[in-house]
Structure 1
Amino acid sequence: MKTKTLIAAIFFSGLIYAQETPKKDSAETKSIEAVTLTKQVFKKQSDRFVYDVAASPVAKGNTAFSLLKQTPLVSSTDDKTLKIIGKNNAVIYINGRKTNMDAESLTQFLKNTPAENIQKIEVITLPGSEYQVESSDGIINIILKKKMTDGLNGNMRMGNSQNYYNSTYAGVSLNYRKNKLGVSANINTSENIQEQYYILRNGNDKASNQSEGRVTDPNKNLGGYLNIDYQLNDNSNLALTWNSWANRSYGSTSNLFNTINSKNDAGIALPTKYNYTKNLENARSYNNSLNLNYEWKTDTLGSKLNLNAAYLNYKRFQNADNKTFDSDIFQNLSQYPTIEIKQSTPQVINNFSFLGDYIKKFKNDFTVSVGGNFNKTKTDNDTQSTTTVFDASGNPAELFENGVRIDNPKENPNHFIYDENIYGVYLTLEKKFSDKFSGKIGSRYEMTNSVGKSDNTKNESLRNIERNYNNLLPYVSLNYAINDNNNISYAFSSRMRRPSFWELNPVKNILTDVNYTQNNPFVKASSVYTNEFTYMFKNSYFLIINHSFTKNVITQVPLQREIVKDGINYKELRYIRTNFGDKQEMSAMIGMQKSFFKQYLTSNFNIGMQRNVNNGFLNTDPITGDVFPDYVNKIKSNSLLIQTNNTVRLDKNKTWFLGVNYWYVDNQQIELGRLKSLMSLDANIKKVWNDWTFALEIYDILKTNKVVITDYQDNGNFNYINQNQYNQGLNFSVTYNFGNKKVQKIRDISSADKDIKNRTR
């Protein structure tokens, strides 16, 4: 992973917004609209919240991504990823089937999909056993409108953003249908430079380090997809889906000025030492996948059989050159580096997946779902690392250890191969007992077998790592409509969170010569158990109370210890990816989704409290066995969460819209320490003109979306992280919709490798 993944452990619930509405042309249309306005725009159904977009004044000229940001319980802090409040991640489904795309191409797909194509959006905060999702992930299910006319349509979108640097993006989407054949395609490209400014401090009263400087990461992206769907007969369909995404990041730099303070054994301060670390990185990655789907409708009640087979190939190539120079306080550098670390960290992932499920519906409102899946994955990580120490003349120095000369430069190869097989089966029973009461019960059983091997490492513990474990994951949900205005529901879910493949690759990501991140092949899957109670009033106001318990939390842990180099005390800091105890999260959220003043104002508001209870302890590097002073996080914290998204229609013809959005996350304790409060005020204005939509968006107006983490241990060690990602920005976009607007969308197909894809990023 890139240097910027140093803070990859910082996950928190974010928040933001966007908007729209349909046109009226005739008296007949006006009559229909009068009925539509009486529909329930937002309501609770069984195990999900349903947002009826077609009945809400928010859809014309918008994109699917912007519409999702406005959906109740859904938010985004970076205009790239979507979250469900209280969840780690939002997994996107379309028409009940998961999209077969990686994160980047999925974002572009949603930003190039017209919101007018969407009938409703379902938010599933606790997915049932039939869904393959990990840990505390929630699901956003997009239900598309059904349109029956043959023809061609599509849209073009282009835009420009100004943050620290300028960036551009463009995309074209096409949909074609002729009789039984449906084809959908997209191609999109973007170019941007991500800028970050870090301040990192660690140490104690005897020795401390500070690293401060910039990380600049240029990116060029090209992606797209092709879906071909053919109706074999009235009851069966065959579909082939291809997705592709490529990223090139050449010339990524990290320039950090390091300040080292230390005292001798008598407690007398030694002269401050300065050095400067320059890191140059070139990386490129490719993600390609194929998915074959067969669907057979077995009766008129909606029973159906779904079969999926998929192949995924992911490649990432990365080379880094890290040099440290002696320096003075004015950053005047020595002519030659004192140490140079060169790394090549490629990763290749191949996966074959199969998924089959059958849904049987009965006339008495009883549904049985049964299915199974198989995933076979192999990752190949051939890491090469060379460390060279230089003398004052710029030549490799003579190095001795315990009086014995050691290699300089020193080679440290590590060829790590990881094989994993996952077998899973599930059974779900769902029953509607009456118009008021319904329930669902189910369970998923998973078996995981994995072997990790390093064939050329000097570390014996990495030569063969076998893992075999089985998990039974029950689920239950109950929903009761007390009357037309009051609804209550309860759900319990158990899930697993497997480590991503890059987390298992035992490679160091060098920040400075005494500061690095370390991945870990010994990381175990964590288990998450969640209880959730929901109350809804008049389909506009809701209360959600949630409790989750995570066992064997997967995160980064900062271990630090004193080392001596050239007679000077340094603080060595390792951010170790590992399991770190248990964690509880409790939250209570009150929310509202409602339109006012004849739909001139649409407002979404959430406010709640979250309590985190951490229970983690670590003092040993799981890779090397090195012992460190204890790192302990057994701190509890309470945090206030606020989100409000508001859309104002500025004219009678529904062509001008103003959006004002705000989110706030209070101080809270996470695994790395105490995360300072975060907030962002955003605004946008939009003009709809025939088939054109023009939008201007401003993010983080007050420059308050910055990450600051502080941690103080009882043993005197401290750790401080200040990360500015320059989130303030201006974005202008133009979207043009063309062609036959009644063209039927082809079936959106789930991929058999859907949860494997999530673990490549």
Structure 2
Amino acid sequence: MKKIYPFLIILFTVNSVYAQFPGGAAQSTITGKITATIIDSLTRKPVDYATISLSKSGQTKSTNGALADDKGSFKLDNIKAGKYRLTISFIGYATKIIDPVETTLSKPDLNLGTIILSPSAKMLNEITVTGEANLIENKIDKIVYNAEKDVAIAGGNSTDVLRKVPLLSVDYEGNLSLRGSSNVRVLINGKPSGTMAGNMADALKAIPADQIKSVEVITSPSAKYDAEGTSGIVNIITKKSNLEGISGSVNAGVGTRQNSGNGNLNVKTGRLTLSGNAGGYYSWPQTSILDFNKTATDQSVILTQKGRSTTERLASNGSFGADYDINNYNSISSSLKLNWFEFSVDGDNFNDNKFGNIISQFNRNSDNKTKVIGYDWNNDYTHKFKKAGQEVSFAFQFTNSNLNNDYTSDFIFPTNSALRDSTEKGNSDAINKEKTFQIDYTHPFKKVIWEVGVKSILRDITNDSRVAINYPPSDTEFINPKRNFLYTYNQDVYAAYSTFGFTLAKKYGVKAGARFEGTVIKGSANSASVIKPIDNNYQNVTPSFVVSRSFKNFQTVKFSYNQRLQRPSLFFLNPFRNSSDPLNASEGNPTLSPEVANNFELSYSTFVKTTIINASVFYRKTNDIIESVVSNYITESGKQGSLTTYKNVGTNNSFGVNFFGSINPVKALTLRANLNVNSYNINLNSQNANITALANKIFFIYNGFTSATYVFPKGYTFETFLITSSPRRTFQGKNPAFNMWSLGLKKELFDKKGSIGLNIIDPFNERKNFKTEINSADFTQNSNFSIPFRSFGVNFSWRFGSLKVSTKPKKGVKNDDLKQEGGQTGGGMGTGN
């Protein structure tokens, strides 16, 4: 770390010189810029990646140019005062020429507002264009799900949104997976969130659906991205306005399952943009019914539980951000995001257990509460050079997350029992702190784009665990020293990357690179007899390569390879043993090693008239895969119970196919279908080879959805959505299958500034059963959760302020060039939907 500080000081010093003298030298001539937003004349949607060329007025030889971004906006920098000819072109549209376009010394910055492109006559004869924006967009490097266009997700949370995204799967507990793997890097606006370091499933439920603008799925990240996330990256984009003036929105939903509210406010004036957001989420208490059985292979031990539990969730979040253009070459941004959520599970169950010839019966009443409080503070600075596309950016991020888990369990035995009633209280207070520093530089050569950067991530985790037992009516607590400890865990990551991108023969796109990541891990407890110290260092070089070939009629074929890794998160590492149910206890494993995966993918996409098709085949080999392991252990009372922890169990070979299709058979109707199928074939290492009889077998896992959307006159839109997924396999058994049917109806109000909607989920299923099976060489274990599922909800949204692009100069800062870093995630157990 000492070596990196002088490097940072030098770079910041050089950068401050550039800030004073843009381009690295004094400027003798004032220059400005030309900006605008390009939209389709029929759909009023942005025309992304249109080509813009600039020449002198009355001439055709181009002197400057740019590509519109995914919002249809473009910016031409370093424009001297004068008259120009502006040409805008894109496949399928009539070329538009604006001549003259004039800038002056007194007004060097010119915003042309909205430029409208009309589809060419040939294209109008071939396709039917509707006024609705595409719900799902298939782009060169990712699939984008535009959640704000979906009528049936308002009033829910982010898991409701993610279930409808191609390639993704979300089970009934909210655990997210991509192509059958739960090792997904989840980002919020391209940045990690500290709350994801705990239980990601519960963190996602704290994000209201109304706050989400879109979701990006990136299966083949380049070396510019962090190597973490063996299956890929999911980037959740929240709503934010770049309109001049004051604008915002209010969203609210009330239902039989959950309630939410969210508000956004944006203020943009000149070069300064301020944005704020606040929201909350509350789910009504839901009562689940549990049936559990564990039977030893020799019938010597039989554990049976029947009971009920009530789950309640409450969450809130807020954010504030500021972006400022210092001048044409320098821009800064800063944002602070606050996160808070908690859920409680109160339950009682009856235990009827057999230990040899001994019958043990008792009631267990438990009260579990989990609370997470955290914040993410991001700061970015970008300097653009005179040469188009050349820039350097600096970023600093600090995240802090406090995960608190409390439980109280009362054990009540029959009056004729020899055992005394008792109460156990447990508390785990885990603090996760992360500091991230990164520098990225982009340099365009004549036909090659070179990207290079360095990064450091410093993670500090502290866990304070306390457990006490008392025997009523006495208030005296007995402390078990083996379960009371202070544990510290430090993980430092140092990384550097380099990528090259270029085009061959105008049809082949190539991007290749490599990333080095060195990891230093140290862990220790105040009692070495409880947890052994950890001192582990390892290095990884992760290459990436992608080549795409474009054909006529909007067809694209892409092949990619990348190597990625998955470091275990706080959820998997936390050594605190939760024994609120001592016969079904759980704990983390601080000795876990990272997973390393090699990914190969071949994909095909096309757009034919109103039909969109995306299909791919892939192969992924994952070494040291981390899975939950259920094994026998002896409780403090001397009885045999089940302990769930996590281990590096072996190597998984997975191959699969994905298909997504969308079609408009008639103008108002859109039909969509998505199917993912992948194999699960794990080869266990020697330490785990005898744990289960399911080793070395091949299983197939699938999930898919179908949907239909119909746009009626007078602002009415109807959607129906059906999702289904097979059980998720583990090397010991399988987790529950999942299916869901939803319907939504939306009516636009206030001249399309607002809307009101109705959502219905599974109207014919009041409750659903979710079964889990575990098979071991020593026992079989089965459980069934029955949870309420049918729900009805009403939602409302209203947008206020300016709804048109301002004619004033548009100078918002976009930091899409920054390398997007992923926080730690895990697919841990949840507590109901």
TM range (shorter): 0.7 to 0.9
Tell me the equivalent position of 1:186. Answer: 277
The 3-state SS of whatever aligns with 2:578 is: strand
Quick one: distance in 1 between partners of 2:796 and 2:373?
28
Structure 2 runs not aligned, ≥5 long: 1-41, 46-114, 197-201, 829-833
Per-residue Cα deviation, 1:483-533 (whole angstroms, up to 9, x for no partner): 325432111111111111232121101142232002111111111221111
Quick one: distance in 1 between partners of 2:664 and 2:799?
27
Tell me the equivalent position of 1:544. Answer: 616
Per-residue Cα deviation, 1:85-111 (whole angstroms, up to 9, x for no partner): 55536656688x437675678777773
Greater Rg, structure 1 or structure 2?
Answer: 2
Q: 1:52 to 1:340 in 2, by over 3 A?
A: closer
Comparing 677-686 and 739-748, the one that deviates more: 739-748
Q: 1:211 to 1:304 in 2, by over 3 A?
A: farther
Tell me the equivalent position of 2:264. Answer: 173
Tell me the equivalent position of 2:353. Answer: 260
1:477 aligns with 2:570: no
Quick one: distance in 2 between partners of 1:44 and 1:218?
38
Query: What pairs with 1:270-669 in structure 2 (closer than 5 Å)?
Result: 272-299=359-386, 301-327=388-414, 338-364=421-447, 366-388=448-470, 390=471, 410-411=480-481, 412-456=483-527, 458-459=529-530, 462-484=531-553, 486-538=555-607, 540-560=612-632, 570-598=639-667, 600-616=668-684, 630-631=691-692, 633-634=694-695, 635-649=697-711, 651-653=712-714, 655-669=715-729
Q: Do the aligned partners of 2:271 and 2:811 also contact (CA within 8 Å) in 1?
A: no
The one-letter amino acid paired with 2:382 is E
Quick one: distance in 1 between partners of 2:212 and 2:576?
42
Q: 1:379 to 1:173 in 2, by over 3 A?
A: same
The one-letter amino acid paired with 1:552 is D
The one-letter amino acid paired with 2:480 is K
How far has the Cα of 1:243 moved from its partner? 0.8
1:688 aligns with 2:748: yes
Q: 1:674 to 1:155 in 2, by over 3 A?
A: same
Q: Do the aligned partners of 1:424 and 1:447 also contact (CA within 8 Å) in 2?
A: yes
Quick one: distance in 2 between partners of 1:572 and 1:145?
48
1:709 aligns with 2:772: yes
Quick one: distance in 2 between partners of 1:512 and 1:62?
37
Q: Do the aligned partners of 1:428 and 1:440 also contact (CA within 8 Å) in 2?
A: yes
Tell me the equivalent position of 2:822. Answer: 755
Q: 1:58 to 1:350 in 2, by over 3 A?
A: closer
Q: Do the aligned partners of 2:362 and 2:411 also contact (CA within 8 Å) in 1?
A: yes
Query: What pairs with 1:200-279 in structure 2 (closer than 5 Å)?
Result: 200-204=292-296, 205-249=299-343, 252-264=345-357, 272-279=359-366
Tell me the equivalent position of 2:36. Answer: none
2:209 corresponds, among 111, 118, 128, to 111
Q: 1:468 to 1:289 in 2, by over 3 A?
A: same
Q: 1:395 to 1:579 in 2, by over 3 A?
A: same
Quick one: distance in 2 between partners of 1:586 and 1:603?
28
Q: Do the aligned partners of 1:108 and 1:188 also contact (CA within 8 Å) in 2?
A: no
Q: 1:217 to 1:679 in 2, by over 3 A?
A: closer
What is the RMSD computed on CA atoms of the aligned residues?
4.0
The 3-state SS of whatever aligns with 1:302 is: coil
Quick one: distance in 2 between partners of 1:736 and 1:122?
25
The one-letter amino acid paired with 1:182 is T
Tell me the equivalent position of 1:199. Answer: 291
Per-residue Cα deviation, 1:176-220 (whole angstroms, up to 9, x for no partner): 101111001001122234534333321222211122323333333
Q: Do the aligned partners of 2:305 and 2:349 also contact (CA within 8 Å) in 1?
A: yes
Structure 1 runs not aligned, ≥5 long: 1-20, 265-269, 398-406, 621-627
The 3-state SS of whatever aligns with 2:557 is: strand
Quick one: distance in 1 between partners of 2:673 and 2:315?
35
The 3-state SS of whatever aligns with 1:602 is: strand
Q: 1:316 to 1:538 in 2, by over 3 A?
A: closer
How far has the Cα of 1:608 moved from its partner? 4.4
Q: 1:351 to 1:31 in 2, by over 3 A?
A: closer
Q: Do the aligned partners of 1:557 and 1:672 also contact (CA within 8 Å) in 2?
A: yes
Q: 1:210 to 1:148 in 2, by over 3 A?
A: closer
How far has the Cα of 1:122 moved from its partner? 5.2
The one-letter amino acid paired with 1:708 is K
Q: Do the aligned partners of 1:98 and 1:754 also contact (CA within 8 Å) in 2?
A: yes
Per-residue Cα deviation, 1:240-277 (whole angstroms, up to 9, x for no partner): 1111112244x64232221213444xxxxx5x432122
Q: Do the aligned partners of 1:423 and 1:447 also contact (CA within 8 Å) in 2?
A: yes
Q: Do the aligned partners of 1:61 and 1:692 also contact (CA within 8 Å) in 2?
A: no
Percent of matched pairs sharing the same residue? 17
The 3-state SS of whatever aligns with 2:568 is: coil
Q: How many residues align?
A: 688
Quick one: distance in 1 between partners of 2:551 and 2:779?
55
The 3-state SS of whatever aligns with 2:571 is: helix
Per-residue Cα deviation, 1:632-670 (whole angstroms, up to 9, x for no partner): 541321234331122111x234x1111111112234532
Quick one: distance in 2 between partners of 1:508 and 1:563?
12
Q: Do the aligned partners of 2:154 and 2:795 also contact (CA within 8 Å) in 1?
A: no
Q: Do the aligned partners of 2:627 and 2:730 also contact (CA within 8 Å) in 1?
A: no
Q: Do the aligned partners of 1:353 and 1:752 also contact (CA within 8 Å) in 2?
A: no
Q: Do the aligned partners of 2:152 and 2:719 also contact (CA within 8 Å) in 1?
A: no
Quick one: distance in 1 between partners of 2:613 and 2:703?
17
Quick one: distance in 2 between partners of 1:44 and 1:181?
33
Quick one: distance in 1 between partners of 2:636 and 2:373?
42
Q: Do the aligned partners of 1:582 and 1:616 also contact (CA within 8 Å) in 2?
A: yes
Q: Do the aligned partners of 1:135 and 1:528 also contact (CA within 8 Å) in 2?
A: no
Quick one: distance in 2 between partners of 1:82 and 1:619?
28
The one-letter amino acid paired with 1:605 is A
The one-letter amino acid paired with 1:509 is N
The one-letter amino acid paired with 1:111 is A
The 3-state SS of whatever aligns with 1:502 is: helix
